[in-house]
Chains A and B, each alone.
Chain A
Amino acid sequence: MSRLSRRHALAGLGATGLGAATAVSALRPRRARAAEPVTVWWTQGFYQAENQAVIDAMATWEKSSGTKVNLTIMNGPDLISKMIAAMQVGDVPDLVHAVTGDRFLVPRAAWDDKLVDVSDVIATQQHEYHQTALESSKFYNATLKKHSYYSVPVKCSTMMEESWRPLIEEAGFSDKDMPTTQDAYYDFFQTVQDRLRSKGRRIYGLGYSMATKEADAGTLFHAFLVAYGGSGIVLPSGKLNVDDPAVRQAAVTALERLTTPYKKGYVPPGAINWGDVDNNNAFFAKQIVMTPNATISIAVAQMEKPDQYYKQVITQGIPAGNDGKPVPSLLGVSPCLIPKGAKNIDGAKALLSAFIQPNTLNTYLKETRARYLPVMASIIRDDPYWQDPADPHRPVAVEYGLIRPTIPWWMNYNPAYAAVLSEQIWSQAEANVTQKGMTPEQAADAAMTRIKAIFERFQIA
């Protein structure tokens, strides 16, 4: 768990300058190597300007280094599939930015010794980086039997809660009535639904994915797991800890608290088949009052409608625990990586080192409209954009993603957890409760049995 204070950030900046400059200059490619191009695969952004910022940054580096960049921008899921295929056959690009790579690509590839150690690139900005972002970039290499940096953090995000103010007001409440603790917060929206339905509105109070596909359902389950005290499901040593009664109870409670509203009709029935986009769409169509989301993209989508952006959509961080204590957010970190077998590793490292210069990174991240947050202290400190008090969404995301306590996902401790996420084991457990009549206890135990089997394959020395 880490905390990034403003003072800490200030202290880090000065110490970083000289060292970073030295490291970057050491990684700059020599002119003699300029002939070999750097092939880059980059996850497509949500916005044209976001992609353009990448293209511009690459063009600038191309000019300064004299090395050609072959940049291909492709959508996220395609990129992951294609990378897996490319690594299988050994025909890989030099540099890859995969938004969900921290879950679905890096942990296993690092384990299999298919990634280049990028500790030297990290070193160029070591003191700038948010501690959790750094922790999220360390993975275990089973061949070399050690943890090291196999990805370079570029941006991050945490789960946020979005709700419609006009609907809450229509139900007779105001912002101040919204509880701040876990159970009370989610129960509140059930009351809102009851009141709106009594007025003849066909609406659901809660709108979250319970599907066994894509990422949203898993993200929400794990936020609940942490809220109920299950953050120790995998220990930093990489050991699975599901036999800890506190972890088991947290999982059972999380399943119970997520599935009961669904069974009672407070979540749209179709949510068992929602993709990551569907809660956004249901929210925009005002079919639901609130929805959790992995970023603030829902609010950002309303940016061109000032009334909705500034007045109607509420963005909040995750609620405190039922005991009133803050709950750490799981920090999702989008990485860059260099696969082994890349033809121009030096060029890729030099390009990456240039890209993670705070100024360059900031220019790029602002074009994501703060859907993604910086992974560096100086960026949020030096640019008022990130904490603009007039903006009702961005500073909230910064607060919960970078200033309040955060923790890394567990695949950093053991890549087995990436397989747990890929197999959607916890979402499947939700389905077992909602559709197969299992109790939360039975579903949790079945999930844990499967998780134990997966961890058997990933023994860390």
Chain B
Amino acid sequence: MSVASRARLDRRLTELGIGLLSAVLLIWTLVPLYNMVRVALQGKEDVFSSNVFPTAPTLDSFATAIDESYWLLENFWGQMGNSLYIGLTVAFLTLAIGTLTSFTISRMRIRRGWMLTNAALLTYAIPMSFLAIPFYSIMGKYGLTDNPIAVIAVEVTFATPYAIFIFKQYGASIPLELDDAARIDGASPPQIFFRIYLPLMAPALVAIGTYALLLSWNEYLYAFLLLSSDGHITVPVGLGKFLNSDEAPWNYLMAAAIIYALPPMAIYYAFRRKMNSGLTMGGVKG
């Protein structure tokens, strides 16, 4: 066998190996999602059948979730509204606090600003779940139990340090000369912040905004601990009620879960490009 043929064979074997590995990883990743859709498309009785494909696929479960016509879904859209309210508020506050802090530290060059960034990142040394009881206690003292503000406060606390870190790293790629030029033209710090800093930070804002939204969108522990009444709970807590019964209608649960997954997916795909550049730029200084 000539050298060229051997090289061709090696290349083909490599490609075959990569193809096989990719296929396995793809199946591994997609099977849970496929199962989710499969269960949602089946009737209650067929949910635990061993059929790979639904025998009589139906969209009834989705209709039930949309119509709120099953008792555990009777406030589904209200819960969706709560999730959205909490998610958007968390995203907004995280962006506001994160950008203002990073601007103050890196653009206004305050002394020992790095200490603030590092101190904020220290909060990640303690897992979120460990702080559940202290947070519950604090919110109780402030009279904020069963109040969405409590969940918002907690989520913002956990999202902000990462936001400050990314914004600070990303902001370092924006030349300081722009600020100096604006200052010579008479711009005040707020004007520099709103007219120069924020527009140039757009990719990082999108990335962190989406991150903060998803963090609160998928959060369960604090939402269930701090919220109680049906009028305040979020969708994850509402869906958790399905698991109370030993005859849970999994098809409704999966249909509702798929619907709940759509807004973040839409947001992700809408801002995909900006997100990618925001996250990668945040990781490389200069």
Complex interface: chain A residues within 8 A of B247 (CB): 46, 277, 280, 284, 297, 301
Q: Whose C-beta in chain A lies nearest to the C-beta of B237?
A: A78
- Give the tally of cross-chain contacts (CB within 8 A): 73
Contact yes or no, B244 A76, CB < 8 A: yes
Q: Does A146 contact B (CB under 8 A)?
A: no
Bound state CA distance, A187 and B140, in angstroms? 55
Complex interface: chain A residues within 8 A of B71 (CB): 48
Q: Does B185 contact A (CB under 8 A)?
A: no
Contact yes or no, A281 B228, CB < 8 A: no
Complex interface: chain B residues within 8 A of A293 (CB): 246
Q: Does A449 contact B (CB under 8 A)?
A: no
A288-324 vs B, CB cutoff 8 Å, 1 = contact: the mask equals 0000010001100100000000000000000000000
Contact yes or no, A91 B140, CB < 8 A: yes
Q: Does A41 contact B (CB under 8 A)?
A: yes
Q: Whose C-beta in chain A lies nearest to the C-beta of B233?
A: A74
Contact yes or no, A75 B241, CB < 8 A: yes
Contact yes or no, A78 B246, CB < 8 A: no
Complex interface: chain B residues within 8 A of A284 (CB): 45, 48, 247
Contact yes or no, B225 A81, CB < 8 A: yes
**Given known contacts A72-B228, A85-B225, A277-B248, is B49 in contact with A285 (CB within 8 Å)?**
yes
A50-92 vs B, CB cutoff 8 Å, 1 = contact: the mask equals 0000000000000000000000111111100110011011110
A419-442 vs B, CB cutoff 8 Å, 1 = contact: the mask equals 000000000000000000000000
Question: Nearest-CB distance from B51 to chain A (Å)?
Answer: 11
Interface centre among B224, B240, B246, B248 (most CB of A within 10 A): B246
Contact yes or no, B140 A82, CB < 8 A: no
Contact yes or no, A74 B241, CB < 8 A: yes
**Given known contacts A48-B71, A85-B132, A285-B48, is B240 in contact with A78 (CB within 8 Å)?**
yes
Interface centre among B132, B140, B237, B247 (most CB of A within 10 A): B247
**Given known contacts A284-B48, A285-B49, is B228 in contact with A41 (CB within 8 Å)?**
yes
Complex interface: chain A residues within 8 A of B137 (CB): 88-89, 91
Bound state CA distance, A264 and B180, in angstroms? 79
Chain B interface helix/strand/loop/mixed: helix
Complex interface: chain B residues within 8 A of A287 (CB): 48
Complex interface: chain A residues within 8 A of B136 (CB): 85-86, 88-89, 91
Complex interface: chain B residues within 8 A of A44 (CB): 241, 244
Q: Does A276 contact B (CB under 8 A)?
A: yes
Complex interface: chain A residues within 8 A of B5 (CB): none
Question: Nearest-CB distance from A73 to chain B (Å)?
Answer: 8
Q: Does B187 contact A (CB under 8 A)?
A: no
Q: Does B18 contact A (CB under 8 A)?
A: no
Question: Nearest-CB distance from B219 to chain A (Å)?
Answer: 14
Q: Does B145 contact A (CB under 8 A)?
A: yes
Contact yes or no, A89 B133, CB < 8 A: yes
Question: Nearest-CB distance from A372 to chain B (Å)?
Answer: 13
Bound state CA distance, A316 and B45, in angstroms? 24
Q: Which listed residue, A46, A72, A77, touches B245 by the CB 8 Å rule?
A: A46
Contact yes or no, B140 A89, CB < 8 A: yes
Q: Does B96 contact A (CB under 8 A)?
A: no
Q: Does B243 contact A (CB under 8 A)?
A: yes
Question: Nearest-CB distance from A179 to chain B (Å)?
Answer: 27
Bound state CA distance, A184 and B225, in angstroms? 47
A261-283 vs B, CB cutoff 8 Å, 1 = contact: the mask equals 00000000000000011001110
Q: Which listed residue, A75, A85, A285, touches B243 by the CB 8 Å rule?
A: A75
Bound state CA distance, A280 and B44, in angstroms? 13
Q: Does B2 contact A (CB under 8 A)?
A: no
Question: Nearest-CB distance from B44 to chain A (Å)?
Answer: 9
Q: Whose C-beta in chain B lies nearest to the C-beta of A46?
A: B245
Q: Which listed residue, B47, B224, B225, B246, touches A276 by the CB 8 Å rule?
A: B246
Complex interface: chain A residues within 8 A of B45 (CB): 284
Complex interface: chain B residues within 8 A of A297 (CB): 246-247
Which residues of chain B from 217 to 236 have a CB within 8 Å of any chain A CB? Answer: 224-225, 228-230
Which residues of chain B from 122 to 166 have a CB within 8 Å of any chain A CB? Answer: 132-133, 136-137, 140-141, 145-146
Bound state CA distance, A76 and B242, in angstroms? 11
Q: Which listed residue, A46, A281, A298, touches B244 by the CB 8 Å rule?
A: A46
Bound state CA distance, A90 and B138, in angstroms? 11
Contact yes or no, A75 B48, CB < 8 A: no
Contact yes or no, B225 A82, CB < 8 A: yes
Q: Which listed residue, A43, A88, A285, touches B133 by the CB 8 Å rule?
A: A88
Bound state CA distance, A72 and B231, in angstroms? 10
Question: Nearest-CB distance from B170 to chain A (Å)?
Answer: 38
Complex interface: chain B residues within 8 A of A282 (CB): 48
Interface centre among B48, B136, B145, B229 (most CB of A within 10 A): B48
Bound state CA distance, A41 and B229, in angstroms? 10
Complex interface: chain B residues within 8 A of A48 (CB): 71
B47-71 vs A, CB cutoff 8 Å, 1 = contact: the mask equals 1110000000000000000000001
B residues with a Cβ closer than 8 A to A are 45, 47-49, 71, 132-133, 136-137, 140-141, 145-146, 224-225, 228-230, 237, 240-241, 243-248
Extra A-B contacts (16), CB below 8 Å, given A91-B141, A277-B243: A41-B228, A46-B244, A46-B246, A72-B146, A74-B241, A75-B243, A75-B244, A78-B224, A78-B237, A81-B225, A85-B133, A89-B137, A90-B140, A91-B140, A277-B245, A285-B49
Task: Pull 13 A–B residue pairs with CB atoms less than 8 Å apart, ordered by A.
Answer: A46-B246, A75-B240, A81-B225, A85-B225, A88-B133, A88-B136, A88-B137, A277-B248, A281-B47, A281-B48, A282-B48, A297-B247, A298-B246
A residues with a Cβ closer than 8 A to B are 41, 43-44, 46, 48, 72-78, 81-82, 85-86, 88-91, 276-277, 280-282, 284-285, 287, 293, 297-298, 301
Closest 5 CB pairs of A and B: A91-B140, A75-B244, A89-B137, A48-B71, A285-B48
